[in-house]
Structure 1
Amino acid sequence: MFCSVIMNRILCISNKNVFSRISTVHKSARHVSQDIFTGDKDRFKGLTIDSNKQKCTQNNFLNKLEESLSEWTSQGHRCIWFRVSIKQAFWVPLLAEKGFNFHHARDDFVMMYKWLPLDSEPNLPPPCHTNLGVGAMVFNKRDQILAISEKHYEYPHWKLPGGYVERGEDIIDAGVREVREETGVEASFQSLITIRHSHKMMYGNSDIYVLMMMKAISEKIILSQREIKDCKWMDIEEYTNHPHVHEFNRLVVQKALEYRSKKLKLNIKKRTVKWPTAVREMNYLVIENCEY
């Protein structure tokens, strides 16, 4: 009986010690989780931290970052991304001090990254390196071409209305918008003509320029005072023989007329495509017969 009482007391003390240790571990885990940055994991074992979602002052930033990097390394994370809002711009030099590099930026944030594994090189998608633009060859009922001369060129020229495609904008919609903004003319898509791909353009990027044939719905010209110096309807022969028209634009006219004579249309169609993890709308090119 005496031995039984002693054993129960020993077990009780032992259990208290175990529970005490478990409690300490839980408290320690909670302490660590509170002292590191939180973010969204990706399928590549990466982690993205959004500065707008973090509570951190300039005074404790470096300590919190060091603890976070240590924890992320032990957890096997590969690339750490910081999406730094312009409101937390003071993070940028502090991240750079700890080995973070720039990847890309927008108007209100910069994305910085650090590759953690020491036994491999970063395998990351490149930042945006190609600009996408559209040019529109608009024909009216008299088979004239809509030509513009822009304000900010250093040499005389007659070119086609056009400009850059906006984020999330379809190519055809961009063409319609650019024609309207620059000339006031409403136009509808008829056919893609060709694509020009060149390098070392604006910001050192590559450049893809999509040329399309369009039909004028209206013909009244209302100039964009910010961008356009002059705009007019030109006969095809006048345009293709004008000394201020670039040879590439002459080629584009030639190809457009060729498509019309052969009754060919390079059409852009849209389709909803499903993957196991996503549903997206995609534009694709098809060749069709067409009566212009």
Structure 2
Amino acid sequence: MSISVNSSDRVCENGIQPVELLPATNDVHGGVIVDMKDAMEAQHFLTLLRASISQWRREGKKGVWIKLPIELVNLVETTVKEGFRYHHAEPHYLMLVYWIPETTNTLPANASHRVGIGAIVVNDKKEMLVVQEKSGRFQGTGVWKIPTGVVDEGEDIFKAAVREVKEETGIDAEFLEVLAFRQSHKTFFEKSDLFFVCMLHPLTFDIEKQELEIEAAKWMPLEEYAAQPVTQTHALFKYILELGSLKLDRDYAGFSPLHITSVFDDKLSFLYLNRQQMQCLSSPDQSS
């Protein structure tokens, strides 16, 4: 969330007596952000909170965000009783929100999706890198699957794919493309899920499986992977095999990352696109 200028922590009530407010910064959407850091008694906090809400209401502010570090857990009940609701939580803080005006609440919801990757890695013998997991839905079923995992906060999709392959199997690999992605809903704690199917090229071949999560890992012929009952009955397994085969044999074009810069803050990010098709369509007609 973008932040602009600091909001005064003292104002004059009726032009006479200064009233202490919570320290806050204005956001670009007409609201304020209170980032609490110092210890405070709940009663004193309540006094400041009520005075602040009154002042912000007069100023026409909209949303109020209060960030409480875990050390200030004593202020959570007070904040909630004043009409604030939970927005999201991280390991070290809780974010609460309040909508001041009597209009439709337009505060953005908490992040709605979790992002995961699956890594198709095939060697020159047309063997796929597969694992059996020690936990999860496929624990003890004998199912061989591609390495999968969750993208960490602040991590790029292509880096997550390379990391997961290395962590689970010890194999170094080069990211090639995103071949497809799946969206599903009501999965992890009611969150939606984005699962990116990625193609990687192996750089090493000697497997060193992860002991904590992986029961077994090996290079499996594509025909053997295809013969698994789960591949024949489970759509995602089936399409993983088909996408990998098309990429190997028919030059199926997926999406590769391109560095771009944000127009707002010059931060670098990645745009995933079909470069092959883009280059073909962008090239001048050679016949003209």
Distance in 2 (alpha carbons) for counterparts of 1:114 and 1:61:
16
Residue among 163, 173, 182 paired with 1:196: 182
Report what 1:46 is aligned to.
Answer: 31
How big is the shift at 1:280?
Answer: 2.7
Note closer, same or farther for the CA distance 1:260–1:65 as it changes in structure 2 (3 Å cut).
Answer: same
* Matches of 1:24 and 1:67, distance apart in 2: 10
Rate the CA distance shift 1:95–1:24 in 2: closer, same or farther, 3 A. Answer: closer
Q: How much has 1:288 moved relative to structure 2? A: 4.2
Indicate the percent of aligned positions where both proteins have the same amino acid: 27
Shift of 1:244: 4.2
Letter aligned with residue 217 of structure 2: C
TM-score, structure 2 normalization: 0.84
Per the alignment, residue 217 of structure 1 pairs with: 203
The C-alpha deviation readout for 1:35-76, integer Å capped at 9, x for no partner, is 110111012210000111x56323412112111111111121
Question: Per-residue deviation at 1:168?
Answer: 1.2
Aligned residues between the structures: 261
Q: Cα–Cα, structure 1 residues 161 and 104, in superposed 2: closer, same or farther, change >3 Å?
A: same
Match of 2:22 among 34, 37, 40: 37
User: For residue 258 of structure 2, what is the aligned residue in structure 1?
Assistant: 270
| Aligned-pair CA distance for 1:91 | 1.0
SS in 2 for 1:253: helix
- Deviations 1:150-191 (CA, angstroms, capped at 9, x unpaired): 111354121110200011111110000000111111111122
For residue 272 of structure 1, report the CA deviation from its aligned partner. Answer: 2.7
Question: Partner of 2:229: helix, strand, or coil?
Answer: coil
SS in 2 for 1:141: coil
Runs of 4+ in 1 over 4 A off after TM superposition: 23-27
3-state secondary structure, aligned to 1:81: strand
Is the CA contact 1:192–1:265 (under 8 Å) kept in the aligned structure 2?
Answer: no
CA offsets 1:121-145 (integer angstroms, 9 cap, x no match): 2101110110100000111221200
Q: Does 1:83 align with 2:70?
A: no
CA distance in 1, matches of 2:265, 2:73: 34
- Bigger shift: 108-117 or 254-263? 254-263
CA 1:196–1:230: 2 relative to 1, 3 Å: same
Residue pair 2:230, 2:237 contacting (<8 A) in 1 also: no
Partners of 1:153 and 1:106 in 2: CA distance: 24
**Structure 1: where are the runs of 5+ without partners?**
1-22
Partners of 1:141 and 1:104 in 2: how far apart? 46
C-alpha displacement at 1:264, in angstroms?
A: 3.6
Q: Distance in 1 between matches of 2:16 and 2:228?
A: 80
Task: Give the gaps of 5 or more residues in structure 2.
Answer: 1-11, 278-288
- Whether the aligned pair in 1 keeps the contact of 2:22 and 2:48 (CA below 8 Å) is yes
1:64: which partner in 2? 48
CA 1:168 to 1:24, structure 2 compared with 1: closer, same or farther past 3 Å? closer
- Tell me, yes or no, if the aligned pair for 2:176 and 2:256 is still in contact at 8 Å: no
Larger Rg: 1
Of 99, 113, 123 in structure 2, the residue corresponding to residue 115 of structure 1 is 99
How far did 1:254 drift? Answer: 1.0
State the distance in 2 between where 1:159 and 1:147 align: 5
TM-score (norm: length of structure 1)? 0.83
Counterparts of residues 131-146 of structure 1 (less than 5 Å): 131-146=114-129
**8 Å contact from structure 2 (residues 118, 161) kept in 1:** yes
Whichever structure has more helix as a proportion of its residues is: 1
Q: Give, in whole Å, the separation in 1 of the partners of 2:145 and 2:49.
A: 53
1:270–1:281 CA contact under 8 A, matched in 2 = no
Where does residue 17 of structure 1 map in the other structure?
none
1:151 is the counterpart of 2:134: yes
Q: How far apart are the structure 2 equivalents of 1:153 and 1:104?
A: 26
AA aligned to 1:270 is L
Query: In structure 2, the residue corresponding to 1:279 is in which secondary structure?
Result: coil
AA aligned opposite 2:268: E
Matched position secondary structure for 1:70: helix
1:286 maps to 2:273: yes
Aligned to 2:7: none
CA 1:154/1:26 → structure 2, altered by over 3 Å: closer, same or farther? closer
Specify the alignment match of 2:283 in structure 1.
none
Q: CA deviation at 1:253?
A: 1.4
Q: What letter is aligned with 2:85?
A: N
Q: How many angstroms apart in 2 are the aligned matches of 1:170 and 1:58?
A: 41
Q: Name the aligned partner's letter for residue 166 of structure 2.
A: R
Question: Residue in 2 aligned with 1:10?
Answer: none
